[in-house]
Amino acid sequence: MASLFGKKDSFPFKTVDPVNGLDGTQREESLNDPYEFGRISPTFCVLPFTHLATYTDGSAILCCVAKNENKLNLNDQSLQAAWNSDYLKSARLKMLKGEKVSACAHCYAEEKNGYRSHRITENRVWKERFGREFVLDRVHRTHEDGTLNEDIVAIDLRLGNTCNLQCVMCRPQDSSRWTALAKRIAATAETAEVRSEWAHKSQINQSRFEWYKDPSFWESLETMLPNMREIIVGGGEPMLLDETRKLVEACVRTGAAKNIQIRYHTNGTLLDKSLFPLWKEFKLVEVFISLDCWGEKNNYMRYPANWDAIAANLKCLDEESPESVKVMLLCSVHMMNMFYLADYAQWIEDQNFKKVTKGFNGYFHPGVVHYPPYLSIQNYPAELKKLVTEKLLAFEERSKKKSNKIQGIINLMNEADHSARLSQTRDYIRRLDTERGTSFAKTFPELNEYLKVY
Ligand code: SF4
């Protein structure tokens, strides 16, 4: 059987020309993928050959941005079975043939609009971190039917929905703390849109979110640790789980940690300093902390967070964590914090952190919230959009560190006018305040003037 670049005998396609590409047609290096794998095929993505992602309910998916459109679930099958399932095999083959995979529509849409997609980013990251040969070797070892009898070397684990917070943009699928409140909002909201949204979100089968407690899952993962290169742990809140610590201990015990980059996605409320000696053993530890603002405003948006605890954890990570640790702030951008984003960036700058956010471009990594729609920044009234735009541009002008992300957020906010949704926003916020005993007007007095929630 012919193989790509003539190295292994399992690759099923006859064209082996590394200059002109898999299908033999002239292909510019820069076409679609400037990081060389565009020659394999214009839809090639390294992830189905190296990586598997899970969702909180045990679903196994291609990556964190891929659509969850298949029936793979770790409640029902092993990690190995998911890895060489018909779904994964078919995705690999399609990518090798240059066909599109429907789950990857998000990447293709971004590329069509001129953005750097997750696919392009991951292809670059894998080439830079592990080398072109590493990736090509995986391709060569792929069998005619798409089977890849090699270990998963990168895994993104969303370990159930156990969480201590009830963030405003979240839902029961991602936080167990939302389960009861979601039902109450579905029953009491004034607007049909908010009722319907929460009725839908309330429908979860909690038993499906316990998949990660099965010892056989951890046993099979442990067999893969010698070849593992990247582990991402999220939830829910991964710092709440004994299983997360046991995974770290297993990486150290087996000697695998030195080859592994591990990344936590945490809300910053919990930090176990006794992890520090274990973290020292890893190639790299990334602690990504989701904070949407500072102080009381973050406590409201990520209810019922305790800012004093978060501030102490930030200080501890900044001053005491091992050299192998990098700390990044992630910020979900929505209606409640867009108004304060420039102040938040200024607050970060004023902290003069030694380690937190260092080595990353910008103050925080923004993720724009599109759902629920009534939290979208496009709902701001025109005068508020103008004011926020001016505030952010003024901050950019005077800031020490330029962020290439701020202009993108401004553009997105101004791209469409959805201020007609404001009645839903007000309804949702009033429901939150009634149920939780919080006060939007006291926590966000300036924003309340514009949004007229009260
Ligand atoms: S093409 Fe995009 S969505 Fe598909 S696996 Fe790669 S990064 Fe994920």
- Give the model confidence (pLDDT) of 335-353 as tens digits: 999 999 999 999 999 999 9
- Give, for ligand 1, the residue of 54, 62, 92, 101 to mutate: max count of ligand atoms closer than 8 Å to Cβ: 62
Q: Is residue 447 lining ligand 1, measured as CB closer than 6 Å?
A: no
Would you say 385 and 413 are in contact if contact means Cβ atoms under 8 Å apart? yes
Q: How far apart are CA 440 and CA 53, in angstroms?
A: 36
Q: Is residue 334 lining ligand 1, measured as CB closer than 6 Å?
A: no
Q: Is residue 170 lining ligand 1, measured as CB closer than 6 Å?
A: no
Pairing of strands 154-158, 51-54: parallel
- Give, for ligand 1, the residue of 32, 50, 65 to mutate: max count of ligand atoms closer than 8 Å to Cβ: 65
Q: How far apart are CA 404 and CA 317, in angstroms?
A: 26
Q: Is residue 186 lining ligand 1, measured as CB closer than 6 Å?
A: no
Average pLDDT, the chain: 89
Task: Give the nearest ligand 1 atom to 64 CA.
Answer: 8
Quote the ligand 1 centre to 43 CA distance (angstroms): 9
Rounded to a whole number of angstroms, the CA Rg of the chain reads 23
Q: What is the pLDDT of residue 132?
A: 86
Q: What is the pLDDT of residue 31?
A: 41
Q: What tokens were used for 398?
A: 């005077």
* Residue with tokens 């990690």, as numbered in its chain: 79
- Give, for ligand 1, the residue of 50, 90, 93, 107 to mutate: max count of ligand atoms closer than 8 Å to Cβ: 107
- Give the model confidence (pLDDT) of 302-317 as tens digits: 999 999 999 999 999 9
Q: Which residue type is seen at 60?
A: A
- Give, for ligand 1, the residue of 40, 61, 118, 135 to mutate: max count of ligand atoms closer than 8 Å to Cβ: 118
Q: How far apart are CA 98 and CA 44, in angstroms?
A: 7
Per-residue b or e along 374-408, where b marks 16 or more CB atoms closer than 10 Å to that residue's CB: bbbbbbbeeebbeebbebbeebbeebeeebebbee
- Give the model confidence (pLDDT) of 415-433 as tens digits: 999 999 999 999 999 999 9
Q: Is residue 107 lining ligand 1, measured as CB closer than 6 Å?
A: yes
Quote the ligand 1 centre to 62 CA distance (angstroms): 7
Q: What percent of the chain has pLDDT over 90?
A: 77
Task: Give the nearest ligand 1 atom to 66 CA.
Answer: 3
Q: Is residue 104 lining ligand 1, measured as CB closer than 6 Å?
A: yes
Quote the ligand 1 centre to 66 CA distance (angstroms): 6
Q: Is residue 392 lining ligand 1, measured as CB closer than 6 Å?
A: no
Q: How far apart are CA 64 and CA 51, in angstroms?
A: 10
Quote the ligand 1 centre to 233 CA distance (angstroms): 19
Task: Give the nearest ligand 1 atom to 95 CA.
Answer: 1
When pLDDT is cut at 50, 70 and 90, the band that residue 448 belongs to is: very high
Q: Is residue 66 lining ligand 1, measured as CB closer than 6 Å?
A: yes
Would you say 414 and 389 are in contact if contact means Cβ atoms under 8 Å apart? yes
Q: How far apart are CA 322 and CA 257, in angstroms?
A: 14
Q: How far apart are CA 71 and CA 81, in angstroms?
A: 12
Q: What percent of the chain has pLDDT over 70?
A: 90
Q: What is the pLDDT of residue 361?
A: 67
Q: How far apart are CA 243 and CA 213, in angstroms?
A: 8
Q: Is residue 154 lining ligand 1, measured as CB closer than 6 Å?
A: no
User: How many alpha carbons fall within 13 Å on the CB side of residue 279?
Assistant: 23
Helical H runs in 158-214? 179-188, 192-202
Task: Give the nearest ligand 1 atom to 43 CA.
Answer: 1
Q: Is residue 122 lining ligand 1, measured as CB closer than 6 Å?
A: yes
* Torsion of Cα atoms, 387 then 291 then 366 then 229, to 10°: 170
Q: How far apart are CA 265 and CA 175, in angstroms?
A: 14
**How deeply is 25 buried, as exposed, middle or buried, from its count of CB atoms within 10 A (0-12, 13-18, 19+)?**
exposed
Q: What tokens were used for 72?
A: 């793979």
Task: Give the nearest ligand 1 atom to 105 CA.
Answer: 3
Q: What tokens were used for 95?
A: 């990518």
Q: What is the pLDDT of residue 366?
A: 87
Quote the ligand 1 centre to 105 CA distance (angstroms): 8
Q: How far apart are CA 184 and CA 433, in angstroms?
A: 13
- Give the model confidence (pLDDT) of 3-44 as tens digits: 333 344 344 443 333 333 344 444 444 344 544 676 788 899
- Give the model confidence (pLDDT) of 360-400 as tens digits: 767 888 888 988 999 999 999 999 999 999 999 998 888 87
Across the beta sheet with 261-266, what order do the strands follow?
Answer: 60-61, 51-54, 154-158, 230-234, 261-266, 284-290, 325-333, 365-368
Distances (CA, A) of 215 to 39, 57, 151, 373: 42, 16, 19, 39
Spatial neighbors of 128 by CB under 8 A, at least 6 apart, are none
Spatial neighbors of 300 by CB under 8 A, at least 6 apart, are 168, 336, 438, 440, 443, 444
Q: How far apart are CA 98 and CA 169, in angstroms?
A: 36
